[in-house]
Amino acid sequence: MEPNEQKQGRLDIEAIRQELAGQGGKRYWRSLEQVADTQEFQLWLEDEFPHRKTLLEIDRRSMLKVMGASIALAGLSGCRGAFLDQEKAVPYVKQPEELVPGKPMFYATSIPLCGYGVGVLVEQHEGRPTKIEGNPDHPESQGSTNSIMQASILSMYDPDRSQNVSSAGEISTWEEYEKVLKEALAKQKSKQGAGIRILTDTVASPLLAASLDAFLEAYPAATWHSWDPIGRDNARGGSQAAFGKVVNTTYNLAQAKVIVSLDSDFLVSGPGHLRYSRDFADGRRLEVTGGSMNRLYQFESFPTVTGTNADHRWAIKASDVASVTAAIAAALGVASDAGAAPVDAATISKIVKDLQANPGTSAVIPGEGQPASVHHLCHAINEKLGNNGKTVLHGPRVDFGPANHLQSITQLTEAIKSSKVDILLILGANPVYNAPADLDFGNAIASAKLKVHHGLYFDETSAKCDWHLPLTHFLEEWGDVRGYDGTLSLIQPLIAPLFESKSHVELVQRALGNAEAPFNTLKSSYATRLPGKKWDIALNLGVIADSKPAEVAISVSGTAPSIPMLRVSGPEVILREDSHVFDGRYANNGWLQELPKPLSKITWDNAIHISPRMAQEKGIESEDEVELEFNGQKVKGGAWVLPGHPEDSITVLLGYGRTAGGTIANRAGFNAYPMRTSSALSWGHGGNLKKTNHIFPLSSVQVHHEMEGRDIVRTGTLAEWNADPALTPETKHHFEKVSMYPDKVFDYDGPQWGMTVDLNTCIGCNACVTACQAENNIPVVGKEQVKRGRELHWIRLDRYYVGGLDQPTETVHQPVMCVHCEKAPCEPVCPVGATMHSHEGLNQMVYNRCVGTRYCSNNCPYKVRRFNYLNYVDNQDQFMESSMDTPMIPVPLASDKKVIIPGKVTHEKTHGRNLLKMVQNPDVTMRGRGIMEKCTYCVQRINDTRIEAKKQGREIKDGEVVTACEQACPTKAIVFGNVADKESRVSKLREDKRSYLLLEELNTRPRTSYLGRVRNPNPEITA
Amino acid sequence: MAKETLNEDLITGQQTYVSLDNTIGSMVLDGKRHKKNWYVMLGIAFMLLNGFMLAVGWLLYQGVGVWGNNVPTGWAFDIINFVWWIGIGHAGTLISAILLLVRQQWRNSINRFAEAMTLFAVLCAAQYPLLHTGRPWVAAYWLMPYPNIMGLWPQFRSPLIWDVFAVTTYALVSILFWFVGLIPDLATLRDKSTNKIGQKIFGFLSLGWRGSMKHWHRYEQAYLLLAGLSTPLVLSVHTIVSYDFAMSIVPGWNVTVFPPYFVAGAVFAGFAMVLLIGLPLRAWYGLKDMITMKHIDWMCKIMLATGLIVFYGYFLEVFYAYYSANPAEISLAEWRFYGPYSPAYWALIICNGIIPQLLWVPKFRRNLPLVFIVCLFISVGMWLERFVIIPMSLMKNYLPASDRFYYPTIVDFTMFFGTIGLFFFMMWLFIRFLPVINMFEMKDLLFKQNLKKEKEAEEKQEAGVH
């Protein structure tokens, strides 16, 4: 070293002493270097590496030395695992018990749906959850699932999920957050926590409720608010009014012979719908019931799945439902005047007669969107009919927190506006997006001092908060939850949190200073209830046995509410939750977005639905852009003309038009929440619809709605079925089985696979479609590709209208997947023989052999073949471009780029892709571009079962092979099995008189058969 | 311009063997005979060809999804264009082979460029079968029967495999036929050529032709044999192409009338294309004495005849739909009449059914601009016919719920016009570098015509004497 360099680095102690001595007052100094204010110190302040050399300072020889060393050291990275740290996972040195690589394991857990738990079994491959199935031990699921449950696995691997703690747009840490919170809470101690507000959505987890209660105990003046945009305020309010206390009303439809639904979509939405649909279907399974059927009367303000399954359906304005309820109540004598109902009195009296004829075996079900007074009246009606304790069950309240969410969020907003809120903890809810528009929560929130949002996504609310904390997905957390009837079930993680997330319980516990591991918190909370082995059993089952609370004996007190009998004219605007993205919380899920809506079959968008008559009057066609003015707000969206929609009303679906919902969510639809005010949460009067001169393209997967008199779905009434159990259609072809060849083409030993789909019990809920997508690694293709007609779903639910355009007399659903023709037209036309028949009767696709001529698809009369027009598996870029202007950067899974630049989008496309790859089922081949694919009858499951049976040296048992669609089906309308075995369920159903083959006249001899649909209309009602 | 008259002679004007050689041969040997028209046409074709190459590049990069095809419409522009081009090619083979076998001397002046047209049309058609597959890199050889250790063969039950054989055979025979027919002319050009390069190239290509009796003898034998081979191909290729549809169970495809109706349609379209090229050619290059009004008249008559067969086919399709009482067939027929794409159907009826009826009138057959326009309509009509048959049928299904709308993309159009570019690019190069009219056959014709005239003169004289 040269002398002058040495000198530069030396401190002049004397100078420092003088410096310090010359100062008056207090002066804090950090180090001698600072005081000396040396050049060195300045450099250190400015530069992280003060003594590094710039390129200009390095001579050639040193440069070569450094470069040489760099290259040599770079080579060392190849020595990972040898003597450097090994980052990658290694195979088990000691194999864990029960785990066989390549064999999935199933664990029981629970999924909270709108807060209420449904038990599930999750398939896990080497620690990676891949598929969700229903838990047969759970009273709601009974082994079935719905689409949202199936798709929730994809949400877990969503690359748009928030992955870091962030504060004011900067990545931060939990420690930082907790430090800030601790300081804030310390200030609240003296005020008893008067400035603390906690906002949750629906909470049905006893552990979370207990944690929150503990928090409220520590800060007695703090308040717990709740807000769920699609909550059960009305149901709670109705029971409060009727019984003087909030009870949880559930229905035992297995016992119900006559059901009247008042704007309720109980078959596919709301807590308990899986159970209700199963019980409802069981009541019409003709081969089991021996010919008796329940009867459903449906009054509804929007065409719903439940409506399509009704025996009588009236499309009425939402505001008229109350009148109908009052009319029924009056006819039963539980309310005074009936007034003017939109349905004539004679019809009402016939319905009432039917109800009265079935005391104790009927049920009147009010819709969640209907006001508390309607719920109140329904309680009175059910009591009068003697249904309580039989078909209508009242149990103690299941959820926790404020009973009236609207009131609660209003109070919270007022408190914030009056600057009373110092700490606002938002757990899961997204009020900035979905609070009633008149509250102006989005702007009000700024008045709260410390705002913390804990959620799965960095959403609209996160953007307005000081802190965003990532929430665990339910597959990553420990917890508990109550089901629709109060049954307790446990939530156990299937995987360690992918990101730095924590559960709500953990967050609240940590705020209380309890840093206990979440598992311990949960276990200790069940220490008395589930001691010792009982805990293990409960964890294994997923459901806590006998935890369903006893019913409460209760009767309607108070007088029946008077319902204004005014029939308001002028268009009514109905705001409904979407059947798939719900209130918007599932909007970033590609599977749910691409899932066709049950009736309109629209994907990727919400729409403004109107009736054909209104469309005609206003000159509007589907896919016209329209402007809807309502509650002083204007939204623009695509119009959709929906047969069966009530007249004089306009329905808009909520949950779309997200601005910070994630890549997918932000692109889909328009936001209808700005029109939704406290006074018009479900509907309101005075919508003004105007056509603009633009087109709003909507991707609907079905454009043709009539059967054109063809023999496609066989339907009939119960009376017709009694007369002719085959439901022979008028247009049936006189088809004789004439063939030049011996009819022993598939006379092989071994099982012959086949399937039956009972159209009588199929409710058209879409669960099978998503289940198939999850099982068979079916990629989403995006709105534009759906518009082109290239969606890849292996099952499609065909929906046909019967009867008039305005009010179709019947709407039928028909799931169509590959029917595995014994004489498949697709097979002989393939030039390379890529589609062949297996000896077990499967029509197989050999992906590796397929060259993609698409001839097989052209020649398939059922059009169930799907073609990969583009590389849909890898080209998911359309979903990967982040449109979020937040610093949430997915850096999951062994990413080597952990550099985070706050405020900049550095969304690495490959990261998202890597994460999405985790969801794939390893048992099913991925299909690349240019390949034909279709339903395989879940051949991977067949093979798995066959191997197992072979190992055990036995035949495959009936019901042992369960296809994904069959497993998910809430009504068990799909049955799969061996048609060669005459004793199998599927054979017996094929022998049923109602059984028919789709397009039998083409002589394709499908292995999938359908069972005709039977309705049970009231013979007295002709309309 | 003096009105051209219909003449009994197939060669008009004062022609000698030398003048024939000069008129035709100089188009190759004398670059100055190609005026602005040639350069403009070549330039346009070249631009379209470039668009084609871009589209194909994009297609290979992205996948067939760059087209508008979907499920249920698995085939659309790809197969429309394939069938259209194959059809156009047919006239060439018909003129060369069948008319040769039935000793129709009038074919001599048009067979060469009609054959070239066949080749280029087949070349254009050949772009599609491979590119339309999802994975052309494997389709390229998996469709061929080749021995492999996995023992995998193509499936011989599939009409697409028959197609592969039909089209490859057709392309091979057409090339051979065309080239063999060129040999004597190539030798003439070699002899007439004044520059070294021309002499070398034509010398090489003429395979040592010296015009000896032996050569002529063998040439005639080979040419007849090839004509014999080609003749069944005229019928078989398009029959097999029609099997792609007729063998399936798709409503609108499963019709027994397809084979004859397709073959007639092919000849119909082919003659229209011959005229579309021949009419400007004779005007621009002074070939009016060789492609005479008589040729045009006869070709118009052939178009009229085949057009009527095609029209009958359209009628039968509708008849079958209703006669079958198959609701899917009936609904398809009505979809064609009234559906959103019904303009395409009615345009087809007008183009192929109504407009060609003008050719009944002799006066119209001699009105060359009108004939040209009719031919244009026929070409468009034949394309529409395939549009009606392929995507319009596929859009309608046995299960109405699977009906979906098809609409093409810009890539579809770029590729379609691109193949037109490819076709004309090749055609104009051919006009520049090879004799468009068979010189030796024209001389043969002139000889025979002179002989006939002499004979007639003698007979007249004799009659005068008596």
| Type of residue at A170 | E
State the average pLDDT over residues A386-413: 90
Preferred mutation among B80, B392, B398 to probe A, highest tally of A CBs within 10 A: B398
In the prediction, which pLDDT does A55 show? 63
Is the model's pLDDT at B197 over the cut of 80?
A: yes
B449 near B9, Cβ under 8 Å?
A: yes
A-B Cβ pairs (cutoff 8 Å, strict):
173
Is the minimum CB–CB distance between A659 and chain B shorter than 8 Å? Answer: no
DSSP string, A504-569: HHHHHHHHTT----HHHHHHHHTTTTS-THHHHHHHHHSB-TT-SPPPPP----SPPPP-------
Is the model's pLDDT at A25 over the cut of 80?
A: no
* Interface touch A849/B74, C-beta < 8 Å: no
In the prediction, which pLDDT does A851 show? 93
The complex's ipTM?
Answer: 0.90
A481: confidence class by pLDDT, cuts 50, 70, 90: very high
Domain A572-700, architecture per CATH: Beta Barrel (2.40)
> B371 lies in which domain range?
29-444
Q: What percent of chain B has pLDDT over 90?
A: 32
Domain count for chain B? 1
Residues in chain B: 466
In the prediction, which pLDDT does A153 show? 92
Residue of A nearest to B68 (CA): A788
In the prediction, which pLDDT does A92 show? 65
Q: Which of A705, A831, A932 sits opposite B158 (nearest CB)?
A: A831
Residues with Cβ < 8 Å from A804, sequence gap 6 or more? Answer: none
pLDDT per position as a tens digit, B218-249: 988 998 888 888 888 888 888 999 999 999 99
* Interface touch A832/B71, C-beta < 8 Å: no
Q: Give a yes or no: residue B2 inside a domain.
A: no
Tokens of A1010: 């359908």
Please state whether the predicted TM-score (pTM) of the whole model is above 0.90: no
State the average pLDDT over residues A989-999: 90
Q: Give a yes or no: residue B265 inside a domain.
A: yes
Preferred mutation among B250, B399, B405, B409 to probe A, highest tally of A CBs within 10 A: B399
pLDDT per position as a tens digit, B303-348: 999 999 999 999 998 998 898 888 889 989 999 999 889 999 999 9
Instruction: Quote the strand ranges of A1-70, DSSP E.
Output: none
Q: Which residues of chain A neighbour B403 with C-beta distances below 8 Å?
A: 703-704
A203: confidence class by pLDDT, cuts 50, 70, 90: very high
Domain A251-390, architecture per CATH: 3-Layer(aba) Sandwich (3.40)
DSSP string, A173-230: -HHHHHHHHHHHHHHHHTTTTTTEEEEES-B--HHHHHHHHHHHHHSTT-EEEE--TT
Q: Which residues of chain A neighbour B160 with C-beta distances below 8 Å?
A: 829-831, 853, 855
Q: Write out residues 14-43 of B within 8 Å (CB-CB) of A.
A: none
Q: Delimit the domains of chain A by residue range.
A: 3-52, 251-390, 572-700, 715-733+751-873+926-1015
In the prediction, which pLDDT does B6 show? 58
Q: Give a yes or no: residue B23 inside a domain.
A: no
Q: Which residues of chain A neighbour B74 with C-beta distances below 8 Å?
A: 854-855, 857-858, 867
Q: Pick A715-733+751-873+926-1015's CATH classification: 2.60.40.420, 3.40.50.10320, 3.30.70.20, 3.40.1360.10.
A: 3.30.70.20
Q: Write out residues 321-380 of B within 8 Å (CB-CB) of A.
A: 327-328, 331
Q: Give a yes or no: residue B18 inside a domain.
A: no
* Interface touch A798/B401, C-beta < 8 Å: yes
State the average pLDDT over residues A241-252: 90
State the average pLDDT over residues B350-357: 91
Average pLDDT across chain A, whole number: 84
- Measured in angstroms, the CA of A788 and the nearest CA of chain B are apart by 6
* Interface touch A832/B155, C-beta < 8 Å: yes
Prior bond of B72 cis (ω within 30°): yes
- Measured in angstroms, the CA of B136 and the nearest CA of chain A are apart by 7
State the average pLDDT over residues A121-133: 90
Phi-psi category of A607—alpha, beta or left, where left has phi over 0 and alpha has psi -120 to 50? beta
Is the minimum CB–CB distance between A793 and chain B shorter than 8 Å? Answer: no
* Interface touch B133/A731, C-beta < 8 Å: no
Residue of B nearest to A814 (CA): B401
Is the minimum CB–CB distance between A825 and chain B shorter than 8 Å? Answer: yes
pLDDT per position as a tens digit, A230-241: 888 899 988 988
DSSP string, A721-753: HHH-TT---TT--------SS-S-TT--SS--E
Q: Write out residues 133-152 of B within 8 Å (CB-CB) of A.
A: 133-136, 138-139, 142-143, 152
Q: Which residues of chain B neighbour A800 with C-beta distances below 8 Å?
A: 400-401
Q: Which of B157, B244, B331 sits opposite A828 (nearest CB)?
A: B157
- Measured in angstroms, the CA of B150 and the nearest CA of chain A are apart by 12
Is the minimum CB–CB distance between A878 and chain B shorter than 8 Å? Answer: no
B440: confidence class by pLDDT, cuts 50, 70, 90: confident
Instruction: Quote the strand ranges of A232-361, DSSP E.
Output: 247-251, 258-262, 295-300, 312-315
Instruction: Quote the strand ranges of A835-888, DSSP E.
Output: 835-837, 843-845, 866-867
d(CA A152, CA A582): 13
How far CA A839 is from CA of A843, A844, A894, A957, in Å, comes to: 9, 10, 44, 18
In the prediction, which pLDDT does A882 show? 37
Question: Identical fold at A251-390 and A572-700?
Answer: no
* Interface touch A852/B250, C-beta < 8 Å: no
Q: Write out residues 235-254 of B within 8 Å (CB-CB) of A.
A: 244, 247-250
Segment (H or E) for A481? strand A479-482
Is the minimum CB–CB distance between A676 and chain B shorter than 8 Å? Answer: no
A883: confidence class by pLDDT, cuts 50, 70, 90: very low
* Interface touch A833/B152, C-beta < 8 Å: yes
Q: Where are the alpha helices (DSSP H) in A391-530?
A: 405-417, 431-434, 441-444, 460-464, 504-511, 518-525
* Interface touch B74/A871, C-beta < 8 Å: no
